[in-house]
């Protein structure tokens, strides 16, 4: 009996149609981040993103965005953006930021309390826990209708409760500053504890 046949007896695998997008058929864990950009009229736009990830071990971060959105156009024009990483209890803030525009404006953004960035012309969502100011490094097109926007982190600020330190247990950090996980598609969860990963002896990245 082949290995494939033995595996099929242990569990049932479902083939997904890759002629269509597969991502709504199962859950994926992602952060929930509000990207801030400066509008042409001098105001600010805030838009939630979940396709966000560090790029390498240096201070580069990327997120997926369609060029049809004002976020993409604003970043190309201004060369900078902010990122507010939301914590549990702030899901409604992301929902407000995701609401459609009325003409060229997002009047619902007036309900979000913000504060100014230090080094770029932008704002942050005040109640978030991690705040990144980013200079545009590049955009990479061609992911269907989407692009990868890559930023170089120029300023980073963090809620002290979320800071990892040698003298502090990691589960204590998560207890004091739980993480918000966006579960694509359309759900969210609170992460307040974790277990150490079983790395092999002498493992190095």
pLDDT at residue number 123? 95
Confidence of residue 129 (pLDDT cuts 50, 70, 90): very high
Task: Give this prediction's pTM.
Answer: 0.87
Task: Give CA–CA dist 111/113, Å, rounded.
Answer: 6
Over range 162-171, report the average pLDDT: 94
pLDDT at residue number 202? 82
* Cis status of the peptide bond prior to 96, with omega within 30 of 0: no
pLDDT at residue number 205? 74
Domain boundaries, the chain: 28-186
Q: Output the average pLDDT for the chain.
A: 89
3-state helix, strand, coil in the chain (%, to 5): 20, 35, 40
Q: What residues have CB less than 8 Å from 112, skipping those under 6 apart?
A: 46, 93, 96, 97, 125
In this predicted structure, the answer to whether residue 7 has a pLDDT above a threshold of 70 is no
CATH number 3.90.1010.10 is the correct assignment for the domain at 28-186: no
Count Cβ atoms below 10 Å from residue 38 Cβ, excluding itself.
Answer: 22
Q: Token digits for 29? A: 């864990």
Task: Give CA–CA dist 201/199, Å, rounded.
Answer: 7
Over range 114-128, report the average pLDDT: 93
Confidence of residue 100 (pLDDT cuts 50, 70, 90): low
């Amino acid at each position: 009996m082949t290995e494939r046949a033995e595996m099929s007896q242990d569990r049932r695998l479902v083939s997904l149609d890759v002629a269509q997008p597969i991502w709504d058929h199962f859950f994926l864990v992602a952060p929930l981040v509000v990207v801030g950009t400066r509008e042409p009229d001098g105001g600010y736009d805030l838009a939630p993103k979940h396709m966000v990830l560090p790029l390498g071990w240096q201070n580069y971060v990327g997120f997926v965005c369609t060029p049809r959105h004002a976020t993409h156009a604003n970043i190309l024009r201004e060369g900078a953006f902010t990122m507010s990483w939301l914590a549990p209890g702030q899901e409604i803030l992301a929902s407000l930021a995701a609401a459609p525009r009325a003409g060229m404006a997002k009047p619902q953004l007036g309900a979000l309390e913000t504060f100014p960035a230090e080094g770029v012309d932008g704002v942050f969502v005040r109640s978030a826990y991690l705040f990144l100011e980013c200079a545009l490094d590049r955009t990479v097109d061609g992911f269907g209708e989407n692009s990868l926007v890559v930023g170089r982190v120029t300023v980073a600020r963090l809620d002290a409760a979320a800071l990892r330190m040698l003298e502090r247990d990691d589960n204590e950090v998560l207890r004091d500053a739980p993480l918000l996980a966006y579960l694509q598609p359309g759900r969210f969860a609170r992460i307040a504890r974790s277990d150490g990963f079983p790395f092999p002896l002498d493992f190095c990245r």
